């Protein structure tokens, strides 16, 4: 047999007898946003993070009576699902607002990589298509003005999701002062900011003058319990693994065990 035929036969044999059908479902980073949301829907449908979803629904409900909820902080250790839960919820909230003809936009500012205030606001300006990426040559005040000018044309509600806010390592006070004091005064729409942090005490180091006008509600994300983890793993295993091959290997292991007795 030719070597290319051997290789093809070996590959085909491995594909037919593989246990892992789709490795991407074992790692969210390999899924695109739409695929992540499909998995999350199944997870939330079996009541995982049910308490947090209810709290989020309660917090944002005033939007549907034309009211203005206060800002929100999601707190919990790494791996408790703060980011994915909030992104999924915002996606559903946007669809519900559209259904009821309520104008709503949302932006996810990912600060998982530590950066100074200027870089954080530069990232926000890029997300809004208000500026390009600057390293120098533009002042912080000019950058803030460009963000204001861009958002000033929006109507309805604007939800800014600031993920891992404590990673603004230089001049966090200026960053927060702009978002929660200057920006709302410069734009006509209703601004809601959602912060996440892995540190429960992230607000302790804020300047008291900034903290005094930071009106914020908090939702605590507890670690997943054993029941939740079982539900999550069960859903992911069904999508990622070849159940037929698992059953065959289980049967072989059991048979081997009996034969060795």
- Which residues fall within 8 angstroms of residue 219, CB to CB, at 6 or more apart? 52, 55, 56, 59, 72, 73, 74, 75
Mean pLDDT lowest among 30-34, 120-124, 212-216: 30-34
Residue 245 is assigned to a structural domain of this protein: no
Torsions phi, psi for 133 (to 5 deg): -80, 120
* 248 is a domain residue: no
Q: Are 129 and 150 in contact (CB under 8 A)?
A: yes
Q: What is the pLDDT of residue 213?
A: 82
In whole angstroms, give the CA distance from residue 253 to residue 239. 23
Q: Residue 42 falls within a domain, yes or no?
A: no
Report the percent of the chain where pLDDT is more than 70: 87
Q: Are strands 157-163 and 190-197 parallel, antiparallel or unpaired?
A: parallel
CA dihedral (182, 70, 110, 201) positive or negative: positive
Contact of 78 with 167, CB cutoff 8 Å: no
Q: What is the CATH number of the domain that holds 122?
A: 3.40.50.300
How many domains is the chain built from? 1
Above 50 in pLDDT, residue 38? Answer: yes
Question: pLDDT category, 235, cuts 50, 70, 90?
Answer: confident
Q: Alpha-carbon distance 183 to 195, whole Å?
A: 16
**Residue 193 domain flag:** yes
- Whether 43 is in a domain gets the answer no
- Whole-number pLDDT of residue 32: 79
Give me 106's structure tokens.
């949302």
Give 260's pLDDT tier (boundaries 50, 70, 90). Answer: very low
**Cα-based distances in Å from 42 to 61, 94, 195, 204, 235:** 23, 19, 25, 37, 7
Range of the domain at 201: 49-223
Q: Is residue 178 part of a domain?
A: yes
Backbone angles phi, psi at 21, to 5 degrees: -85, -40
- Give per-residue pLDDT as tens, 56-98: 999 999 999 999 999 999 999 998 999 999 999 999 999 999 9
Q: Per the domain annotation, does 240 fall within a domain?
A: no
Supply the pTM of this predicted model.
Answer: 0.83
| Average pLDDT of every residue of the chain | 87
The answer to whether residue 154 is domain-embedded is: yes
């Amino acid at each position: 047999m030719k070597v290319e035929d051997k290789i093809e036969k070996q590959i085909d044999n491995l594909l037919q007898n593989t246990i892992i059908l789709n490795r991407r479902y074992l790692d969210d980073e390999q899924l695109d946003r739409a695929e992540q949301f499909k998995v999350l829907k199944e997870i939330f449908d079996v009541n995982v993070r049910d308490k947090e979803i209810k709290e989020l629904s309660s917090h944002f409900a005033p939007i549907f009576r034309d009211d203005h909820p206060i800002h929100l902080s999601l707190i919990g250790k790494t791996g408790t699902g703060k980011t994915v839960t909030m992104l999924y919820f915002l996606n559903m909230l946007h669809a519900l607002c559209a259904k009821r003809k309520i104008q709503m936009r949302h932006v996810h500012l990912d600060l998982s990589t530590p950066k100074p205030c200027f870089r954080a606001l530069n990232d926000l300006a890029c997300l809004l298509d208000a500026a390009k990426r600057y390293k120098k040559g533009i002042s912080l005040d000019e950058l803030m003005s460009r963000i204001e000018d861009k958002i000033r044309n929006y109507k309805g509600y604007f939800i800014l999701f600031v993920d891992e806010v404590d990673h603004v390592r230089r001049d966090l006070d200026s960053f927060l002062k702009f978002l929660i004091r200057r920006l709302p005064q410069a734009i006509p729409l209703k601004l809601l900011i959602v912060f996440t942090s892995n540190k429960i005490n992230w607000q302790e180091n804020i300047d008291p003058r900034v903290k005094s006008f930071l009106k914020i509600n908090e939702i605590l994300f507890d670690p997943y319990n054993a029941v939740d983890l079982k539900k999550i793993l069960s859903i992911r295993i069904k999508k990622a693994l070849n159940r037929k091959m698992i059953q065959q290997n289980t049967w072989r292991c059991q048979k081997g065990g009996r034969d060795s007795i």
